[in-house]
Structure 1
Amino acid sequence: MNRAVALRIAACGLMGLGAALLIAALLLTTYTKGKIAKIPLNLDTTLVSEGTGTAFDPASLSAEKFSVDRNVPVAMQQQMSVESPSNAEVVTLQVGTSLRRTDRQQDTGLLLAMVDTVTMNRSTALAVSSDNNPGGSVQKPRGMEDQKPPTSVALPHEGLTYRFPFDTEKKTYQMFDPIAQKPFDANYDGEEDVNGLTTYRFTQNVGYDADGKLVEPVKYASLYEDDVDSTVKARASVWGVPGEPDEEITMNRYYAAQRTFWVDPVSGTIVKATDHGYQYYARDPLKPEVTYVDYKVTSSESTIESQVASARDERDRVSLWSRVLPITFTALGLVTLIGGALLASFALRAESTLIDPGLDTADHGFFDTQGIQVPGAEAKTEKLPAQRPSDLPPDRPV
């Protein structure tokens, strides 16, 4: 194989590699991002929020009058894990949420506990359902000493729950509230920096208007069969309300909330949240009479740091496959294509010179040595002069 053929083969190889790199960059941009930008299947985290509030004292259930304490420390904890069904398209999150007074121990401090399960699309974060899966469920309450397996009741979810979609937009989303058991608007409210991460801030009102006024509270949806925690009958003296002390008064439990979410717009991760929840007993929904709990909690610093780190990891993963690699492959592809084209041109010149060396003498001189030609047939040689007869020695006959 001569040098010209080898150069031509190398040029074809380079141009083929360049084309392959450009095609790979196009596929990474248009196809791979949709496969990468999805909620991870290995979520396993605990989110903690802390604050203060006014809270009912469960120990007063057996007392002569219900007791409500003010300015007590409260903490909300959410344990999030992935359950079945989870696959390439959907993920099922099981979230155990508890709200407790931290100045009490075990049952005496527990104010709220629920285990919510939702199946959502891994790209859009929207709840999904099928014939075999209603899209969500909630566990029935159990006592601390209950050894029976937990049982769940179907609770179809709508909209978003616990996460926002990848490439979150500056608009209003429907965010499901598992306590109210229906979705409410989460409105875009601006950008804000959280630990060096630019986030979108969303606000949600459940039963409140934009000014924080109670306008349409939700009747608390009990998970007990007899609604024992949502409809309560007691004497006026026990309730601590005006009227005949022995008068039996029935009150319903109502719920309202105000929330703020700080969301990473790339991954949809909620990196920080504040939650103001209000649950109370009343005969008229808009006239609270006995507070069950009125609290405001904010994500702890450790939770914020963990969520920001998680959002950055997801950002880096998406950026690697949707930006870094496509740009790198595009640059390498263009360089390789240009290099292959130049090498192909060089190979053609070399091949033409081997076929007819004279074709190369005009201007390029491929096999010329610095442009100097030394034709052997025309090289000048030195001629020695012949001796004339008169110059011969006298004693030598002619």
Structure 2
Amino acid sequence: MRSRVIGAALFGVGVLALVFAGGLAFVVAPQAERLPYDLERTQSVAEAPNARFMQITNGKAEVNQATLRSTITVQPDAKETAKLDGSLDGNAVVWLVGQEVIRTDTKALISAYSTSLALDRKSGAAQQWDKQWLDTGSNRQSVNYSGQIYKFPFGTEKKTYEIFDRDINTTQPARFVKTEQINGLETYQFTQEIRDATQPLPADRLQLLVGQLVPGATTGRVSYSNTRKVWVEPTTGQFVKVEETQSKKLVGDNGQETVILDAVFTYTDDAIARSADTAGSNRQLLQMVNLWGPLALAVIGLVLVIVGLLMALRRPRVATVGGSVPEPRRGSGRHADTGPAGDADPGRDGPQKADR
């Protein structure tokens, strides 16, 4: 009786473990692979040693050379996220992003922008949202974001993705190149090539630059090229390393041109280490929820169910006197095994038969 009670208890615990395994795999795991609403404020820093760049001081534009440092800050906008409705409600999160580029020797500000955008919580891609904006320092303007910008999808695949480029306000394909170990973490490298695209500028700003940097030209354009390499941790879709080889030329309508940017921006070692550490920790958490947790619970549950069934269905042992069942004695045919009344007395029956 006691074994049946224990078996039933083990069976119940095993079933409960299987239920938890299914809940972890099919309910908790899909929610874990989404951008959180309470994302902590993060920063990524990249530097471009010996860069050539245009610097405007008191309205005068000139081309200088120094090391540039770019800092991008990302933080969630809980207030705007709470206002999302329709298909975006519950499926998107609003981020506030800002970038500053300074020269490291004088700390002078070279360029800056701030922006607000909505990202899909699963794919990390920019979503259509009527309140998104971009401010490059002169004025706040509307922008139509799309594609990947600051993050790749959870479960990044070895395929081509569209990455949005802020300088030309559109997406360009980034193809998968290879896998690479960075700080002990496996990453996917993607490369985006932009060649001789035109960077849009306000007419008055463009005219100012042409007048100062391309003598003799009446108008012109900014020719923009960029080879963007992104190393992504595939489970989380987080950027671990970014490298951008940027080139900008001011081309006048008279055929003359001036290089206004020639720089290779790469995440600093500290930025790479922090990104790899964060991505590695998040990867372990996701694997625990998606794989190891459900698998462990399923194995434990199955073992307990089987053991519980075996114990509950086992037949009880028959209790006996003295610990064993007595074997019947072999009699002479006169019910010799029926007890004292049937016992034969050789000392009595034998002589009587002999006298006859």
TM normalised by structure 1 equals 0.73
Q: CA deviation at 1:233?
A: 6.1
Q: Identity rate of aligned residues, in percent?
A: 22
Q: 2:29 aligns with which of 24, 33, 46?
A: 33
Q: CA deviation at 1:261?
A: 0.3
Pair 1:219 & 2:188 matched: no
Q: 2:142 aligns with which of 154, 174, 177?
A: 154
Q: 1:79 aligns with which of 62, 73, 76?
A: 73
Q: Give the aligned residue type for 2:293.
A: L
Alignment match, 1:230: 206
Q: CA deviation at 1:90?
A: 1.5
Asked if the contact 2:167/2:199 (under 8 Å) is kept, the reply is no
Q: List aligned pairs for 1:85-100, cutoff 5 A.
A: 85=81, 88-100=90-102
Q: How far apart, in 2, do the equivalents of 1:278 and 1:368 lie?
A: 99
Alignment match, 2:230: 261
What are structure 2's unaligned runs of at least 5 residues? 83-88, 329-337, 341-356
Asked if the contact 2:214/2:257 (under 8 Å) is kept, the reply is no
Q: Give the aligned residue type for 1:321.
A: V
| Equivalent position SS for 2:147 | coil
| Equivalent position SS for 1:189 | strand
Alignment match, 2:13: 17
Q: How far apart, in 2, do the equivalents of 1:378 and 1:174 lie?
A: 98
Asked if the contact 1:188/1:201 (under 8 Å) is kept, the reply is yes
1:74-100 per-residue CA deviation (whole Å, 9 max, x = no partner) reads 111101111131674222221111222
The more displaced of 39-48 and 262-271 is 39-48
User: Quick one: structure 1 residues 19 and 61, their matched pair in 2 at CA, closer, same or farther if it must change by over 3 Å?
Assistant: same
Q: How far apart, in 1, do the equivalents of 2:160 and 2:14 lie?
A: 44
User: Quick one: structure 1 residues 338 and 55, their matched pair in 2 at CA, closer, same or farther if it must change by over 3 Å?
Assistant: same
User: Quick one: structure 1 residues 138 and 57, their matched pair in 2 at CA, closer, same or farther if it must change by over 3 Å?
Assistant: closer
Pair 1:121 & 2:133 matched: no
Asked if the contact 2:47/2:68 (under 8 Å) is kept, the reply is yes
Matched pairs, number: 324
Asked if the contact 2:210/2:250 (under 8 Å) is kept, the reply is no
Alignment match, 1:308: 276
Greater share of residues in strand: 2
Alignment match, 2:343: none
Alignment match, 2:44: 47
| Equivalent position SS for 1:249 | coil
Q: CA deviation at 1:60?
A: 8.2
Q: Give the aligned residue type for 2:69.
A: A
Q: CA deviation at 1:118?
A: 1.6
| Equivalent position SS for 1:67 | strand
Q: Give the aligned residue type for 1:122.
A: R
TM normalised by structure 2 equals 0.81
Alignment match, 2:56: 58
Q: Give the aligned residue type for 2:119.
A: M
What are structure 1's unaligned runs of at least 5 residues? 143-150, 209-215, 242-246, 354-359, 361-365, 380-398
| Equivalent position SS for 2:151 | coil
Q: 1:171 aligns with which of 159, 168, 180?
A: 159
Q: Give the aligned residue type for 1:69.
A: N
Give the RMSD, CA atoms, in angstroms. Answer: 2.9
Asked if the contact 2:214/2:252 (under 8 Å) is kept, the reply is no
Q: Give the aligned residue type for 1:14.
A: L
Q: How far apart, in 2, do the equivalents of 1:201 and 1:248 lie?
A: 41
Q: How far apart, in 1, do the equivalents of 2:193 and 2:286 lie?
A: 32
Asked if the contact 1:127/1:135 (under 8 Å) is kept, the reply is no
| Equivalent position SS for 1:179 | coil
The more displaced of 32-41 and 86-95 is 86-95
Q: CA deviation at 1:160?
A: 1.1
Q: How far apart, in 2, do the equivalents of 1:192 and 1:233 lie?
A: 42
Q: Give the aligned residue type for 1:99.
A: V
User: Quick one: structure 1 residues 367 and 218, their matched pair in 2 at CA, closer, same or farther if it must change by over 3 Å?
Assistant: farther
Asked if the contact 1:282/1:288 (under 8 Å) is kept, the reply is yes
Q: How far apart, in 2, do the equivalents of 1:260 and 1:288 lie?
A: 30
Q: How far apart, in 1, do the equivalents of 2:136 and 2:68 lie?
A: 23
Q: Give the aligned residue type for 1:121.
A: D
User: Quick one: structure 1 residues 251 and 335, their matched pair in 2 at CA, closer, same or farther if it must change by over 3 Å?
Assistant: same
Alignment match, 2:309: 341
Q: 1:186 aligns with which of 162, 168, 174?
A: 174
Q: How far apart, in 1, do the equivalents of 2:269 and 2:253 lie?
A: 39
Asked if the contact 1:134/1:155 (under 8 Å) is kept, the reply is no
Q: Give the aligned residue type for 1:254.
A: S
Q: How far apart, in 2, do the equivalents of 1:88 and 1:378 lie?
A: 86
Q: List aligned pairs for 1:311-390, cutoff 5 A.
A: 311-346=279-314, 349-350=315-316, 360=318, 367=320, 371=324, 373=326
Asked if the contact 1:135/1:156 (under 8 Å) is kept, the reply is no
Alignment match, 2:346: none
The more displaced of 50-59 and 268-277 is 50-59
Asked if the contact 1:37/1:166 (under 8 Å) is kept, the reply is yes
Q: 2:62 aligns with which of 67, 72, 75?
A: 67
Asked if the contact 1:77/1:97 (under 8 Å) is kept, the reply is yes
Q: CA deviation at 1:11?
A: 2.4
Asked if the contact 1:232/1:250 (under 8 Å) is kept, the reply is no
Q: How far apart, in 1, do the equivalents of 2:242 and 2:282 lie?
A: 19
Alignment match, 1:391: none
Asked if the contact 1:231/1:253 (under 8 Å) is kept, the reply is no
Q: CA deviation at 1:303?
A: 0.6
